[in-house]
Amino acid sequence: MRILLVDDQRSLRRSLSLMLQGAGFETEEAESGEEALRHLAEHSCDLVITDLRMEGMSGIDLLRKIKKIAPVMPVILITAYGSIDSAVDAMRLGAFDYLTKPFREQDMLEKIHASQAVRAAARVTASETAEPPRKANDIVAETPQMRATLIKAERIARTDISVLVTGETGTGKTRVARFIHDNSARSHAPFVSINCASLPENLLESELFGHMKGSFTGATESRAGLFEEADGGSLFLDEVDTLSLTMQAKLLSVLQEKIIRRVGSNKGKKVDIRVMSASNQDLGHLIDKGHFRSDLYFRLNGIRLHLPPLRERGHDLQRLLQNFLATYGKKYGRGTLRLTPRAETYVLGYAYPGNVRQLESFVEQMAVFADDAGRIDVEALPEDLLQHPPSIQSVESHASAPEMTGNIAESERRMIEAALLRSVNIGEAARTLGIGRTTLWRKMREYGLQFDTGARPR
């Protein structure tokens, strides 16, 4: 595999080149976009990796020109964290993916292999470009990371490659799998989903592959399994990491042969399905421990799509919160639900280990205890929220949505007032808030607060 590296800093090109050569790739280098285009005109290449910001022609300008002369050429951009928005814009123009500096060698290698897997599996014409996702269902994607994820998912949907969706519990893996199905050529056929952890092994085998009448106690009639139900469409296996080694072997056989056999039958039936799967655990780690088959892993992991946790999706948290408030306000007849500034501080400052699913559960509980006017104060919040007082940083991380900024500022002022009231000195108040003394003094001036010897704001 030949990779063209484009960067106007020679030291960075050389270090990346040595890393990739050590991984078994052949590399070429170009110090500018113009030189890269001349190289592509004269030599064959499998992948271009370019810096986003360069003197002269930028990485995005280079991408545009590459897509004109080689539409199917995969391009990966390298950018600083602060330029993620630009990298996402580049993906809309056809870039395969991006990496933020500094990055791990493993992350780079994974994206390289993924780019080639998608290229090999693509069923698109050279004239097609990376259009925005067509059907986003109810997925909220206002943060750059989630926008990039949906762009990748839409591009993956154009192929028939198997997909492994990873991420913490509650991040929306099933929704993303459904999004891929809805944007694929299989969208006319069924999308079937099952949580592999929800059934014991003997029932799971019957659920997946079907069974014949009398094949086991309780099998009073023959029944098709989910593989047959999904024929022509997509099958999503959630929590695939919970499968026993025996079930893994049976699943591997079906994926290799594309033939299923109902429990109690020797007769096989051919199926045509796209398999997508999800895992909450690191399958590579499970392979090392002997708990997951490596051959099944490579069958499932045609390409990996990772979903970021909600705590890294500040803008999305705000939009999801508004959506859930509207949904459950209507469900429980409370009209428009609204959080008081104090309650909002807790809601926006929580880390949500259960991610989107936990946020939705919390909002439903709040809706139940809202007052008749739909007002939600601290007393209506779930106990888990009240046990984790927010820090200033956690609130500020969500403060960029215009419609929320005023309330957040008021919430922040109240937090500082409360900390000053409880503390014997400025240092203790700063530690309580999770900020430095200088930052606290600045915010006190901003909000017109003072600290007296009785630790009372005035």
Cα separation, 26 vs 398, whole angstroms: 43
Residues 177 and 251 in one domain: yes
* In contact, 310 and 359? CB cutoff 8 Å: yes
Distances (CA, A) of 74 to 31, 108, 311: 19, 14, 31
pLDDT tens for each residue of the chain, 458 residues long? 899 999 988 888 898 999 999 999 999 999 999 999 999 988 889 999 999 888 889 999 999 999 888 888 899 999 876 677 888 888 888 899 888 888 888 889 988 988 887 777 654 433 344 444 455 567 888 888 888 899 999 989 988 999 999 999 999 999 999 999 999 999 999 999 999 999 998 889 999 999 898 888 888 888 899 999 999 999 999 999 999 999 999 999 999 999 999 998 889 999 999 999 999 888 989 999 999 999 999 999 989 999 999 988 878 898 899 999 999 999 988 888 999 888 888 888 888 999 999 999 999 999 999 998 899 998 899 988 888 766 655 555 554 444 344 455 666 777 777 677 767 788 887 876 767 788 888 888 888 887 765 544 44
pLDDT of residue 289: 94
Q: Which tokens go with 324?
A: 């859930």
296 and 159 both lie in a single domain = yes
Q: pLDDT digit string (tens) for 419-453?
A: 777 677 888 878 767 677 888 888 888 888 877 65
Q: What angle do CA 13, 16, 18 make, to 5 degrees?
A: 105
Instruction: Give tens-digit pLDDT for 82-109.
Output: 677 888 888 888 899 888 888 888 889 9
CA distance 153 to 175: 11
Q: Which residues pair with 75 in a beta bridge?
A: 48
Establish if 137 belongs to a structural domain.
no
Q: Are residues 162 and 295 in the same domain?
A: yes
DSSP state at residue 263: B
Q: Are residues 320 and 209 in the same domain?
A: no
Q: Which CATH number goes with the domain that contains 29?
A: 3.40.50.2300
Print the domain residue range for 231: 144-308
Classified as helix, coil or strand, 283 is helix
148 and 294 inside one domain: yes
Helix (H) / strand (E) containing 148? helix 144-157
CA-wise closest residue to 265 among 231, 235, 223:
223
Q: Which of 56, 90, 121 is the last residue of a domain?
A: 121
Sign of CA dihedral 449, 451, 455, 458: negative
Between CA 112 and CA 101 the distance in angstroms is 16
Kindly state the greatest CA–CA separation across the chain. 85
Which DSSP string corresponds to 144-199?
A: HHHHHHHHHHHHHHTB---EEEE-STTS-HHHHHHHHHHTSTTTTS-EEEEETTSS
Q: Are residues 83 and 183 in the same domain?
A: no
Are 301 and 198 within one domain?
yes
